[in-house]
Structure 1
Amino acid sequence: MNAYRAKPLNFPWPPLIYGAAALGAVAIGHVFPIPVAHGHGWLPWLAGCALILLAALLDLWAIKALLERHTAVLPHRCATCLVTGGPFRFTRNPIYLGYTFAMVGLGLITLNPWFFVMGMVAVALTTLIAVRNEERHLLSRFGFEFERYCRHTTRWI
């Protein structure tokens, strides 16, 4: 199978990576708790809720943009067109960015700093396992158009 027809991933790893990172943050937080001052009252909780809401809206906006262009939403499916509108104007990975915002939001709500650490681990693993393969797939499918898009749009933020 040539690179033009190859799928970017064999399995949709990113949701699994972020889910495992969240479970890991909870587990590590129970074994090695990091004390956090509770002097800010509702502020961390409200900020966390706002970030989770932002994450959900960003993910829905990205899915809407993909569906409007009739291309794959799941990361293990072949792209039929290059989507550069909607949230893809600002970041090449808005869905994964939404997952990251949700991790930070959960960390603020639960006052568990391990969510921030595991969020960074999830970003690194997602970049290594998924993003690079997806970018290679898009480059093989869309060539110069994808290169131009990459020059004007950051990978994350």
Structure 2
Amino acid sequence: MNAYRAKPLSFPWPPLLYGAAVLLALVLSRLFPIPVSHGHSWMPWLTGGGLILLAVWLDLWAMKTLLDRHTAVLPNRCATCLVTCGPFRFTRNPIYLGYTLLMIGLGLMMLNPWFFIMAIAAVAVTTLFAIRNEERHLLSRFGFEFEIYCRHTTRWI
């Protein structure tokens, strides 16, 4: 049996990585504030709120799709089937994309550039340490079917 077949991750790291990125953005904004000229405009707040709503909707849609297909939602559980419908038609990682959009939305609403910087860092760390392991797991479980899916669907957007 392939070592990657049992579980993609030993612990559900991605939610914790994004949570740590949010906390780090808040701490860095206190320690090293980046001045932002906002002109008292409502546009960043409205755009940020829209991105947050989109992020929550995308995460809920992805989770519902996984639950409807009777497969794992948590990234440290074994996948029972390859889900290629719902938001997974457009991106292989809609939940992580939702987390990223949430961070960008918070950054816009709070006028805090550290959220954008930490969102990029969270994407990089999640890709290196979680997504690659998940993809190896899915490749070992579903083989050629997963390869075809990867050719037609991007990792992020």
**TM-score normalized by structure 2?**
0.98
Letter in 2 for 1:19: G
Aligned to 2:99: 99
Superposed, 1:104-143 pairs within 5 Å as 104-143=104-143
Superposed, 1:19-38 pairs within 5 Å as 19-38=19-38
Structure 2 vs 1, CA of residues 25 and 81 (structure 1 numbering), >3 Å: closer, same or farther?
Answer: same
CA distance in 1 between partners of 2:146 and 2:20 (Å): 31
Letter in 2 for 1:47: T
Letter in 2 for 1:155: R
| 1:104-130 Cα deviation digits (max 9, x unpaired) | 000001000000000000000000110
Shift of 1:3: 3.1
Shift of 1:38: 1.7
Aligned to 2:76: 76
| 1:78-118 Cα deviation digits (max 9, x unpaired) | 00000000000000000000000000000001000000000
Aligned to 2:90: 90
User: How many residues are matched?
Assistant: 157
RMSD value over aligned CA atoms?
Answer: 1.0
Aligned to 2:146: 146
CA distance in 1 between partners of 2:88 and 2:7 (Å): 20
CA distance in 2 between partners of 1:23 and 1:4 (Å): 31
Shift of 1:4: 5.8
Unmatched runs of 5 consecutive residues or more in structure 2: none
Letter in 2 for 1:151: R
CA contact (8 A) 2:79 2:138 kept: yes
Letter in 2 for 1:123: V
Q: Does 1:8 align with 2:17?
A: no
CA distance in 1 between partners of 2:69 and 2:38 (Å): 46
**TM-score normalized by structure 1?**
0.98
| 1:53-88 Cα deviation digits (max 9, x unpaired) | 000000000001101100000000000000000000
Shift of 1:41: 1.1
CA distance in 2 between partners of 1:98 and 1:5 (Å): 26
CA distance in 2 between partners of 1:139 and 1:65 (Å): 20
Unmatched runs of 5 consecutive residues or more in structure 1: none
CA distance in 2 between partners of 1:40 and 1:151 (Å): 45
CA distance in 2 between partners of 1:3 and 1:143 (Å): 14
Quote the sequence identity (%): 77
